[in-house]
Structure 1
Amino acid sequence: MAGILAWFWNERFWLPHNVTWADLQSTEEASFPQAEDLYLAFPLAFCIFMIRLLFERFIAKPCALGLKVQANGPQKAQPNAILEKVFTAITKHPDEKRLEGLSKQLDWDVRSIQRWFRQRRNQEKPSTLTKFCESMWRFTFYLYIFTYGVRFLKKTPWLWNTRQCWNGYPYQPLMPDLHYYYIVELSFYWSLMFSQFIDIKRKAAKMANYCKYQKLSDLLFLTFAIVFIVSRLGIYPLWILNTTLFELYEALGNFPALWVFNVLLVVLQILHCFWSYLIIKAAYKAISKGKVAKDDRSDIESSSDEEETVPRSKTPHSTITTNGTGGANGTNGYITGGTCSEEH
């Protein structure tokens, strides 16, 4: 383990020439960033996650209910043991051949089986209330950390003169405000790392959409599009990439970590260009049609996106009682007869 750590923290990779880790040890006169500081993020990530749970329950949820956000989830599919087995063990999106087989086995028409699978898929989706609460939490945190960052940045000499970033580098004492900013940011993203399997990926403008404020939602999206394009295609390459690619090299010369980080930053800029294309495409549709189109970067938002285009059958169909559906005559999942009207 000691050998692996020594290889990973190789000074010739991470640091400019003639600089060692010993030179960057904190003293009574100056405090420098230390690798051990990263450990603070783990307990803080747990604290942030707990704060999030309290925020969503006692702040976001009352706000959502006050704004008349729908609290109930999608309509549930009627219990059916045979279809449930297919859904859980085989496929959530049966093809035409399987649909026809199920239709014969259950004596249902294909349209009804398609509807059942659609409702069953939607049944696993979170309610609008849940999505609103998560969006409000993220919006609140991002607003707070952005405001804090702007207040700190406007007091720094490198805001308008990026060359000031590298004066004395790497012998730059760590300011408490900057240390707090990075640790809180890192802790927040660690908390998302742990909660990503239960999170719903949503944007802050989605809150207006959940509240049925379509015009406000459109305005927020167009505002976001302008801010994103200006910051990612203007400020980022002209300020950030310019100083890391050229000014840092002029100040410190070449060392391996410099180019590794720059390659990652350039890859990020390529992604910015791609995302900007998607945003411009959606914004163009919004302007031409008078309503914001579906964001191509987002996943499916509602059950209406999965509506089939198959016309409604005019022929009444029979349904069945199967084992596991509450019927008294069910026998191990096989059809036993009986009819009832379909729930629409």
Structure 2
Amino acid sequence: MDYYRTFMHHFWSESIWLPPNTSWADISPEANKDINHTNPRHLIYPIPMAFGMLLLRYVLEKYWFAPVGKSLGIKYNRPKKPPSIPALENAYEISKRWKHKQIQGLAKQLDMSERQVERWLRLRKGQNKPSTLTKFCENSWRCVYYIFSFTYGLVTLWDKPWLWNINECWTKFPHQSVTSDIWWYYMISMSFYWSLCVSQFFDVKRKDFWQMFIHHIATIVLMCLSWIVNVFRIGTLVLVVHDAADILLEAAKMAKYSGYQKVCDFIFAVFTVLWIVTRIGIFPFWIIRNSSIDAPKIVPMFPAYYIFNSLLILLLILHMFWTYLILKIAYNSVNAGQMEGDIRSSSDDYSVDSNESNNIRNQENDNK
């Protein structure tokens, strides 16, 4: 216990987290009746709110998104189960990537043809693939949330001076009052990212699973620290910039799963432009530039400043990674004449080698 207290004392040192000549008592909620400082104890609220958000998502997906998806002709196609063959199941649990030599060995061991083993593997892999309706419901939930979050954030920030003059983020810092609408904006946003950290493990598995997980954790850490140190103004700008393009991304996926390819292509094109403008333009050249260049001219620097900036740069690196994927999809879409794939498509971890893939295609052609 003594080691823990010593560690926490040094970790939360005022010389690290606060500007010079400022103490934790100076920015406590009770420090000044005229200034409503943020309360670090309120950071516990988003955790139970996250479970409430998961419950809301379940209700909306079951009673709204799924019926809408079905009305659009999206079906829940339950994957066909392969026959129960313990030897193949054991081999699948050990390795989900089967080479042609392994297929030959299993076929010989079980007195089966290679095509029978390949068909079993194809059906077994199909058990891990979510239905189109499931993916449609997931995207619908995120689209609805981002519409709400972006709208609420924009309405909340519209009369705030720092939306129009970003230098106001540092005026009188750290003695800035948090209003009730900003409080709710922060709490709801954090609860959403906490819910994503949970739901990500049972949602549709994506290729960028760990990148997204790092993104969620970095966002939560950044929001928590900015709340504790009272740097919430710059945090609200980061949130509203992030939500803008996400609406169109989820809408494009919904259109694709619904069979409206031309609508999907149009939305994706607009999304690509908006993503680049907000994530590669506004975010680094407005927000990060201000926190890196302008802020030191307004407030005295302190070590936590570098922590915040490092987290912002980490988010920017993730944005650059996703921008590469987006432009790759856009390039392939232009060549194909329509959007193909999904920049966060289902993982390809269960793929087999090229020889097996060719054999499976040949088998399907024979069956036709």
**Which TM-score band (shorter chain)?**
0.7 to 0.9
Please say if 1:262 is aligned against 2:341: no
Where structure 2 has 5 or more consecutive residues not aligned to the other structure, the ranges are 207-248
Candidates 151, 158, 166, aligned match of 1:154: 158
Q: What CA distance in whole angstroms lies between the structure 1 residues aligned with 2:205 and 2:121?
A: 23
What residue is the counterpart of 1:223 in the other structure?
A: 270
What letter matches 2:11 in structure 1?
F
Give yes or no for the alignment of 1:99 onto 2:103. Answer: yes
Structural mapping, 1:62-141, within 5 Å: 62-88=67-93, 90-141=94-145
**Which among 166, 172, 178 is matched to residue 170 of structure 2?**
166
SS state at 1:149 partner: helix
Post-superposition CA distance 1:259-282 (Å, at most 9, x none): 121122223223323322322222
| Number of the residue aligned with 1:337 | none
- CA shift for structure 1 position 184: 0.6
CA distance change for structure 1 residues 305 and 144 in 2, over 3 Å: closer, same or farther?
Answer: farther
Q: In the aligned structure 2, how far is the partner of 1:104 from the partner of 1:42?
A: 54
**Distance (Å, rounded) in 2 between the aligned partners of 1:70 and 1:105:** 39
CA distance in 2, matches of 1:155, 1:3: 43
> Which of residues 32, 35, 43 is equivalent to 1:30?
35
Kindly state the Cα deviation for residue 227 of structure 1 after the two structures are TM-superposed.
Answer: 0.6
- Deviation per CA, 1:195-238: give whole Å up to 9, x if none: 22101257512221211111112222211111100111211122
CA RMSD of superposed structures (Å): 2.6
Give aligned pairs, total.
316
Is 1:309 paired with 2:312?
Answer: no
Q: For 1:48, which of 37, 49, 53 is the aligned residue?
A: 53
Aligned with residue 275 of structure 1, among 295, 317, 322? 322
| Contact 1:245–1:262 (8 Å) recurs in 2 | yes
- How many angstroms does 1:112 deviate by? 2.4
Matched position secondary structure for 1:159: helix
Question: Aligned partners of 1:182 and 1:151: how far apart in 2?
Answer: 14
For 2:53 and 2:363, the matched residues in 1 are separated by 52
More helix by percentage: 2
Is it true that 1:14 corresponds to 2:17 in the alignment?
Answer: yes
8 A Cα contact 2:35 2:175, kept in partner: no
Out of 292, 303, 314, the residue aligned to residue 339 of structure 2 is: 292
| Aligned 1:200-219 pairs, distance under 5 A | 200=204, 204=250, 205-219=252-266
Contact 1:111 1:312 in 2 (8 A): no
Alignment deviations for residues 67-119 of structure 1 (CA, whole Å, 9 cap, x no partner): 1111122232233233223223x222222222111212333221221121121
Q: Which amino acid aligns with 1:10?
A: S
Q: CA deviation at 1:63?
A: 1.0
2:164 aligns to what SS in structure 1? coil
Q: Is the 8 A contact 1:73 1:128 kept in 2?
A: no
Q: Percent identity of the aligned residues?
A: 39
Q: 1:124 to 1:196 in 2, by over 3 A?
A: same
Report if aligned partners of 2:19, 2:302 keep a CA contact under 8 Å in 1.
yes
| Alignment match, 1:180 | 184
2-structure distance, mates of 1:259, 1:24: 20
Cα shift at 1:64:
1.1
Query: What is the CA distance between 1:17 and its match in structure 2?
Result: 0.6
**C-alpha separation between the residues in 1 aligned to 2:269 and 2:80?**
32
Name the stretch that deviates more: 7-16 or 78-87.
78-87
Whichever residue aligns with residue 22 of structure 1, its letter is: A
Q: C-alpha distance in 2, partners of 1:207/1:94? A: 33
1:313 shift after superposition: 6.0
* CA distance in 2 between partners of 1:269 and 1:183 (Å): 23
Structure 1: where are the runs of 5+ without partners? 317-342
Cα 1:217/1:45, change in 2 over 3 Å? same
Residues 313, 271 of structure 1: alpha-carbon distance in 2 compared, 3 angstrom cutoff: closer
Q: What is the distance in 2 between the residues matched to 1:268 and 1:134?
A: 23
What does residue 286 of structure 2 align with? 239
User: 1:285 offset after TM fit, Å?
Assistant: 2.2
